[in-house]
A and B are shown apart, each in its own frame.
Chain A
């Protein structure tokens, strides 16, 4: 489905278009809600609410605009509302809350922080799978090149060169002018 046709059909409220929009933007929306809420269950709830709200407001959507930023804005608001709901609901003293309790992980992120996580997520998604795997193992899982090489059964030099290529691509996609 062409992007312009997709936007028009989404604007008309076509449920099939909703599925297509989810497939193209759902992970990014999820990244935004997860960044605010810090937990899978709440992030999924917020993601669902985001798409429902977006569908309800689709008639007001200017189809000349990009869907992504519009969805990100809705996602952030929904996530913040959920965050506040959970904060009110958590009546227990802080000491009794489990570490990593999703309602306590973070304060609502700024709009700029949302743009950052969205852009990094999008950049990572554009990496070839083998490079994406290296970046994840390095940064999210904290493995060294040697540990990654052992884990993947490849030479350390292969990991190093693959890592360099991956980070070079990321730098190209993320290295914009700063004011």
Chain B
């Protein structure tokens, strides 16, 4: 394990460490903050389990009502998770080379507990046609994977493009910086990838482009949407 990893662990455990950058300290302070929050430690009353089981048993006796509250059904149909844990807002840089050395501990602990891993971070959005494509509409899910952000787009109302014309998808952040995330000919079911974080680049658009070697956006937007975190 490198000395810098030891320093980070020491800082996380509350020791004063001068070698860390302000950014590293700030990120580790977030972890320390979560370790200090009661929500991480509070235990519910032991009787809560029986109260829940009783409440549900009563529901079962009366006949289970259809759950219309959006709370239970609003999640979009996400792709099947491939054993990826929820990403934590901490750079792998922070725990750098130590991560590989400590991986055996993590695996052993997870196997011993046998608990399931949480799903990846995910956003979703409705996409709407612009004045150039008023009949277009659809939806998309944006899922954080190891390779980047996977964007699954399904949209109807856009014609198939060919013969030197194609669609280009973009993500844009609050500063107006535009990042290309893929090209395609048909929007009915497209898988795109973004190396830029959706958490910061949340404005989505699709433009019509000409295959003339010019990579910049044509400005001919046909679909737009804004990514919202799934909750």
Q: Which residues of A contact B (CB under 8 A)?
A: 3, 13, 15, 18-19, 22-24, 26-27, 30-32, 34-35, 38, 40, 43-44, 47-48, 51-57, 60, 62, 64-70, 72-74, 76-78, 81, 110-112, 114-122, 124-127, 135-136, 138-140, 142, 163-164, 166-179
Other-chain residue from A48, A66, A112, A135 in contact with B199 (beta carbon distance below 8 A)? A112
Whether B118 pairs with A175 at a CB distance below 8 angstroms is no
Residue on B nearest A28 in the bound complex, by CB: B118
Other-chain residue from A48, A78, A139, A173 in contact with B106 (beta carbon distance below 8 A)? A173
Given contacts A48-B52, A171-B102, 18 further A-B contacts (CB under 8 A): A15-B60, A26-B48, A34-B38, A43-B42, A55-B64, A66-B117, A77-B231, A118-B86, A119-B86, A120-B88, A124-B40, A140-B41, A142-B36, A164-B9, A164-B13, A171-B5, A172-B102, A173-B109
Could you tell me which residues of chain B, from 40 to 74, have a CB within 8 Å of some CB in chain A? 40-45, 48-49, 51-53, 55-57, 59-60, 64-67, 69-74
B43 surroundings in chain A (CB, below 8 A)? 27, 30
A115 surroundings in chain B (CB, below 8 A)? 86, 88, 118, 121
Whether B199 pairs with A23 at a CB distance below 8 angstroms is no
Whether B113 pairs with A126 at a CB distance below 8 angstroms is yes
**Minimum C-beta distance from B176 to chain A (A):** 19
Other-chain residue from B75, B105, B197, B200 in contact with A172 (beta carbon distance below 8 A)? B105
The verdict on A140 contacting B199 (CB below 8 Å), with A55-B56, A56-B64, A118-B118 known, is no
Whether B72 pairs with A19 at a CB distance below 8 angstroms is no
A sample of 11 inter-chain contacts (CB < 8 A) reads A31-B39, A43-B42, A55-B59, A67-B116, A68-B119, A73-B71, A112-B199, A139-B36, A140-B37, A171-B99, A179-B144
**Minimum C-beta distance from B175 to chain A (A):** 16
A34 surroundings in chain B (CB, below 8 A)? 38-39, 42
Q: Which residues of B contact A (CB under 8 A)?
A: 5, 8-10, 12-14, 30-32, 34-45, 48-49, 51-53, 55-57, 59-60, 64-67, 69-75, 77-78, 80-81, 85-95, 98-99, 102-103, 105-106, 109-110, 113, 115-119, 121, 144, 146, 149, 196-200, 229-231
